Structure 1
Amino acid sequence: MLALRLLIMLLGLLLGLAAGRGLAAVQPDDLGIVNTLSLMLAGMLTALLLAPRIEQVFVRFSATFTRWYARLSPRAVAAATFGLIVALLVSVLLSSLLRTVPFYTWIWNLIVTVVLGVFFVSFALRNAESFGLLAFPQVRRKPGSRLLDSNVIIDGRIVELLRAGFLDGELVVPAFILRELQTLSDHHDAQKRTRGKRGLAVLEDLRALRPLRIEDWDDAALPTTDDKLIRLARESGARIVTNDNNLGKIARLHGVEILSIHEAAVALKPQVQAGDHLTVTISKGGQQKNQGVGYLEDGTMVVVEDAIRFRGKPTRVVVVNNVQTNVGRMIFAKLDGEEGAA
């Protein structure tokens, strides 16, 4: 914000110069120059003192303006522009008709223009949905945005990912995805209706954790939701969060990055499953009688039943269960048949 502070100081300097020139008109030349320089310095220092407060006001105003601009709908902009054009045309027509009236001056012309502008713009905004054909499918490019597909919303695991902090960036829900969920929630089929209501409930949970942005974008020329998602992602530079493998393959062919919760779940799946055979060295006893405890190379604890007699020896075991706890992964196992017989 150095540029803003310099601008504020320059304004203070100019105000001091203006005040000094005003006083110099009624003072001797030498005294007027000294007073002008003093007032310029005083104005610059005053501006320097007030700069932090002015910066805070500017930052708050900038944040408010940014939020307001982010909520602007292309239809609303098109409607307001159309209303203003009509107001200006009607104002020109009235001024041409009333120019011969004696009391009709430019002040009345300005008042009439303002009144017409307020009327036509407010009327157009109340009926903004009727101006969809005039609105270009405007897309706001914001690096790091995440476009949510309907299947990943209905899945619901995205809430836990967001709560755990594994999903960064701005979450964007396209308007056509929201309409798809609304259509499902009103469907006559009970199963589809349940899926739609679950999706809307998940969106409420997401909104409680982080602000959601509804992207009012659509392209009637594209037949499917997948095509619209890919086009929107390409134009906005966002990534698509989805569980649809086919959508992921097509999107990657178009150069769109995909975040698949299903692929992440597969990648995080434990490498050791029930029934697998392991060889561990029993290093100590467990909490239960005759239990032995060993560790894998990655530090995972392996609790083996009836294995304390093999303490200090490599022992072949069979995995019984794999438990994920808050502190890490824990494997429960039993002795392999040959080890138990020995």
Structure 2
Amino acid sequence: MIYGILRYVIAILIGTAAYVGMDNLAPIIDPYLVTHFASFGDMSLTVARIAVVVVGTILGIIIGYFVSSFILKQGLVIARRLERVLTHIPNQELIAGTIGLLFGLIIANLIGVAFNQVPIIGPYISIILSAIFGYSGVRLMARKGPEMYLNYMRQWKRGELSTKKSKGFKVFGSNKASDNNGSSKLLDTSVIIDGRIKDLCATGFIEGPLVVPLFVLNELQIISDSADAMKRNRGRRGLDILKEMQDAKMVTIEIVEDDYDDLQEVDSKLMRLALEKQWKLMTNDFNLNKVARVQGIKVLNLNELANVLKPVLIAGEWIRVQVMKEGKEVQQGVAYLDDGTMIVVEDGRPYVGQEVEVMVTSILQTSAGRMIFARVDGGKHE
């Protein structure tokens, strides 16, 4: 029903425009009408003039009615695109950008008054200034507005806290990431999918809020919707782990809407967010780890933590292991510690599937982890 009403409204508007157009064209059409209808009298000439205007208006309404369908369809397409764009803009940036636009237009109009008297180009200067200052206000406030608001709220809370303390009240600090920059940890996609973060939080060794940006959640959703079964399972696992951690309330998990439209890569957005907020970045990505540290970002790498927590063995120490399979070299066997560390056992091939006492001969530390070399003492353990 609304669609039909809009078509009629557009038809009437175009008909009105046609009426105005015919009225403006009257001086051009009138000589032609005088030539053909003046001989029939003034009444015929007046009727002819009215008929021209009426016919032009009716044609405008008919054309407007048929064109209205196309106009409405294109308008809906533009509205949906605009809605999709606005949906991905965080609320804070949207409000700040609107305020910046208003201030930019006000400044542009104030400056434009000085150019109104300039001949020919005066009105156009005001339009150009409005575009420049409006765009600059949107970009500046969208980027700096939320940060300025957080700084103001932080200072206001500190002032309120000091006031309450002076009155003898004890006030506990907030758990918000913005108030705990030193302890806040920014999670990237690899850490969430890895899953060990949940077990680490359960031990109580992780404190402070864990921050998950909205663009990381969007990346997890994209991975979860992937056509590749492996990627799809990894993405869903990451989302499930986040939900389990929230439900268990092991640590505070905060979802932040900070985003950067000028950056496409999630890693680049994470590094800029970590730099701006002075947050620590938790990742398992080797390349992101290196690039972030070059930029001065504090990085927490779970793989490095796992390597540090592996049991320390020294050459000459005896341990009991189960030889799992044959090695690459002749008479070699391969065993594993509980943490997954591989042990290459010399002369261990005959003991595949059995537990034996082995002596550590050397330890090789690599970027992928540790590799232990050992030899059998010669005795089988049934």
Q: Give TM-score, length-normalised by structure 1.
A: 0.44
Greater radius of gyration (CA) = 2
1 or 2 for the larger relative contact order (CA 8 Å, sep ≥6)? 1
